[in-house]
A and B are shown apart, each in its own frame.
Chain A
């Protein structure tokens, strides 16, 4: 298969995740919003580790920082770290069962949240409670859905 095929699918899914990430949600659910962009990025890093990695994470992260009005580099740093980890782990993760994968996703998104939390504390706006780990939990619960959806897209458009 020719390389460079279907790269737009990766970009389109990341963009849709970005829209989901800024979609207004009710106040009660605000801490439960899954980290959509990080989830999609983790999927592509595991599915196409030779094509999606730190560079994509870097560009996505800068976009997310601007989108969220965060310190420039907060999401960039966090997403780069989890991209690095998932590219390193892809051979093992692919063999795992769905719920084992969800466990790995919980840890990865947890690391993402932890890094964001560090940067926010540097800035002086972080929370004191461990609330910031809730998105990791909800992301892990959404992983099976994201996985089947993105896998369907990847197979349909023969992204490789």
Chain B
């Protein structure tokens, strides 16, 4: 009975006062090996996929990647001049220059076993100078932010978690809103958007940089449905995250060099 009371106290301490963050970080480091072991099957599968393939498949893939690389290189040719132009124009408008963000590749080693929580565990921790609040992206868009950092691993809260919200803007016209997770991996809800606001299906939502947590301009979601009920003050808007939240294995941690301000 006494132990139960102590544990109840523990729950309260963690939930209400966040007084155990330091302890959690240490314990996180201790339990990391369990995630490593649980990750072995998928790593074996990866190994098998990279090592046990035929020569022709590899050649084909190589060919495809070479073509893709050529196209991407072609697209970046103008990048340098466009960037310079952008900086010049921003200077003309008296707004702060946008700095490029550095990224570090991390690998996903675990997924929250608890269906009501949308967490993932990645294989970079305080040793790689990961910090709480750091944004995580994959090739297609924003995935979430770091909430706990251990020595070798850290825990990332996905943007679809019930407790997560991200400030966004519509890429087309700059309308600002807040996209909240609703607990399912495939949808975000955009709340408190007036029924008359110009927002349509297919609009891309990107991070707005307001709130100072996420850098500006990363794609977050594509609006998938807008329901305007005349009886309601706000439109009911659902959006589908662009990041492959349930599939990506290789992810990028964003190190913001300096937060650029909106002009």
The answer to whether the Cβ of B254 comes within 8 Å of any Cβ in the partner chain is no
* Residues of chain A lying within 8 A (CB to CB) of residue B248: none
Q: Is the interface of A mostly helix, strand, loop or mixed?
A: helix
Shortest C-beta distance, B115 to chain A (Å), equals 5
The distance in angstroms between the C-alpha atoms of A18 and B163, with both chains bound, is 26
B4 contact from A23, A81, A120, Cβ within 8 A: A81
Residues of B within 8 A of A15 (CB): 34
- How far apart are B257's CB and chain A's nearest CB, in angstroms? 29
- Chain B contributes a number of interface residues (CB within 8 A of A) equal to 40
Q: Which of A1-9, A59-67, A102-110, A152-160 contacts B (4 or more CB under 8 A)?
A: A59-67
CA distance A73 to B115 in the complex (A): 18
Residue A98 is within 8 A (CB to CB) of chain B in the complex = no
Shortest A81–chain B CB gap in Å is 7
Contact of B110 among A24, A62, A76 (CB under 8 A): A24
Q: Does A42 contact B (CB under 8 A)?
A: no
Partner of A30, one of B7, B23, B115, B147: B115
Q: Which A residues contact B (CB, under 8 angstroms)?
A: 15, 18-24, 27, 30-31, 33, 54, 58, 61-63, 66-74, 76-77, 80-81, 84, 119-120, 122-127, 131
Given A19-B37, A54-B3, 10 more A-B residue pairs with CB atoms under 8 Å apart are: A18-B31, A22-B111, A31-B115, A63-B27, A66-B28, A68-B113, A71-B14, A80-B3, A84-B4, A123-B163
Q: Can you list 21 A-B pairs, Cβ within 8 angstroms, ordered by A?
A: A15-B34, A20-B38, A23-B113, A24-B110, A66-B27, A67-B113, A68-B117, A69-B112, A69-B114, A70-B117, A71-B14, A72-B20, A72-B23, A72-B24, A73-B14, A77-B4, A77-B8, A123-B163, A125-B163, A125-B183, A126-B116
